Amino acid sequence: MKDSTQKTAAVGYKLKLAIQKSGRLHDDSIRLLKECGIDISNGVNKLKAEASNFPVEVYFLRDDDIPQYVEDGVADIGFVGENVVYEKKKKVTVAEKLGFGKCRLSLAVRKGDDYTGVQSLSGRKIATSYPVILGDFLKEKGIDAEIHEISGSVEIAPGIGLADAICDLVSSGSTLFMNGLKETESILQSQAVLIKNKDLSEEKEQLIARLLFRIQSVKKAKNNKYILLNAPNAKLKEIIALLPGMKSPTVLPLAEEGWSSVHSVLNENEFWDIIEQLKAAGAQGILVVPIEKMIV
């Protein structure tokens, strides 16, 4: 009864979601929505697009502008990097980590430079597009350095004599390497997050809860694998003890007498450890299958 009342209450309401128009977060944002059963494939070249099967309207914006739009309520929610959220210091709530757009904000100096710790940056000039986060970091460490704000191509600053060091986003490190720089300190780990406005109606909060439920199911599925294996009955107890499963593993008899098929779910983090132990315990014919959605 409660459920159906809640659904009726949300009818007619539509969430406004801001995502990056183009760039590193765009494709993964669209993909996540799709995995959540939200299809906006017919409008990605416009300023905004409407989903056909979920009450959401998607706005395509520059990532730097998303926190401001969400604070102002122009958008109710947004997908944006944590680096941008912390740099802009807008009044928004971080509701969920989205598992893509992973990178780190790091300090780097020229390859040949003497660097013995952050203190080496005292009195030096550091180029960055993240003056707020860098400023906070230096203050916390008690380092007095000059921050030189530039909006792009930060990695070339030391090479052209603009700065002694840089503070920039890194993922593989190849851009630093190609510019003759070495990463010395990572000051923030970042990934895309879902941010929301601080003052939303009950109806919109309900829609966000539905969206978050879907996102969490997709994320869980990605972090888990479905595993099937054959086990001699004499070893079943030992093998079952190694498997967590969602409740407990499913055990089915095989056509061959004395053998069973065991099905379970394994988390990515413990996956290889457990597989090795299962093999050692006598498991055979181990199959590992991706999971599309995981509702717990």
User: Which span sits near Zn ion by CB under 5 A: 63-71, 160-168, 173-181, 270-278?
Assistant: 63-71
Among 10, 17, 19, 25, binds ligand ATP (CB under 6 A): 25
Q: How many CA atoms lie within 13 A of 87 on its CB side?
A: 23
Quick one: which segment of 60-68, 160-168, 234-242, 244-252 binds Zn ion (CB under 5 A)?
60-68
Residue 25 vs 36, nearer CB to ligand ATP:
25
Q: Report, in Å, the least distance between residue 44 CB and ligand ATP.
A: 14
The dihedral through the CA atoms of 44, 47, 52, 53 has a sign that is positive
Q: Which is nearer to ligand ATP, 20 or 179 (CB)?
A: 20
Q: Which is nearer to Zn ion, 63 or 76 (CB)?
A: 63
Q: Is 203 in the site for Zn ion (CB under 5 A)?
A: no
Count of residues that interact with ligand ATP, criterion CB under 6 A: 16
Stretch that binds ligand ATP, among 39-47, 169-177, 200-208, 268-276 (CB under 6 A): 169-177
Q: Is 168 near Zn ion (CB under 5 A)?
A: no
Residue 100 sits at the vertex; the CA angle it makes with 98 and 101, to the nearest 5 degrees, is: 120
Q: Which two tokens stand for residue 125?
A: 């000039």
111-139 b/e (C-beta count within 10 Å ≥ 16 → b): eeeebeebebbeeebbbbbbbebbebbbe
Task: Please give the DSSP secondary-structure letter assigned to residue 292.
Answer: S
171 is an interface residue for ligand ATP by CB under 6 A:
yes
Cβ neighbours, 10 Å, residue 219: 18
Report yes or no: 250 and 71 within 8 Å, Cβ to Cβ: no
The residue among 54 and 130 lying less far from Zn ion, judged by its C-beta, is 130
Cβ closer to ligand ATP: 65 or 71?
A: 65
Of 28, 35, 57, 64, the one binding Zn ion (CB under 5 A) is 64
User: What minimum distance in Å lies between the beta carbon of 1 and ligand ATP?
Assistant: 43
Q: Using the structure block, give the residue that is written with the tokens 């030096």.
A: 124
Site string for ligand ATP, 54-83 (x = CB under 6 A): --------xxx----------------x-x
**Interface with ligand ATP includes 195 (CB under 6 A)?**
no
CA 149, CA 136: separation in Å to the nearest integer? 14
State both tokens at 17.
């979601």
Cα Rg, the chain, nearest whole Å:
25
**Per CB under 5 A, which region of 57-65, 101-109, 174-182, 203-211 contacts Zn ion?**
57-65
Q: What whole-number distance in Å separates Cα of residue 165 and Cα of residue 159?
A: 10
What gap in Å lies between CA 31 and CA 27, rounded to an integer?
6
Name the residue whose CB lies closest to ligand ATP: 81
Tracing tokens 């799709």 back to the chain, one arrives at 34
Distance of CA 6 to the CA centre of its chain: 29
Name the residues that contact ligand ATP, by CB under 6 A.
20, 23-25, 62-64, 81, 83-84, 101, 103, 169-171, 190
Name the residues that contact Zn ion, by CB under 5 A.
63-64
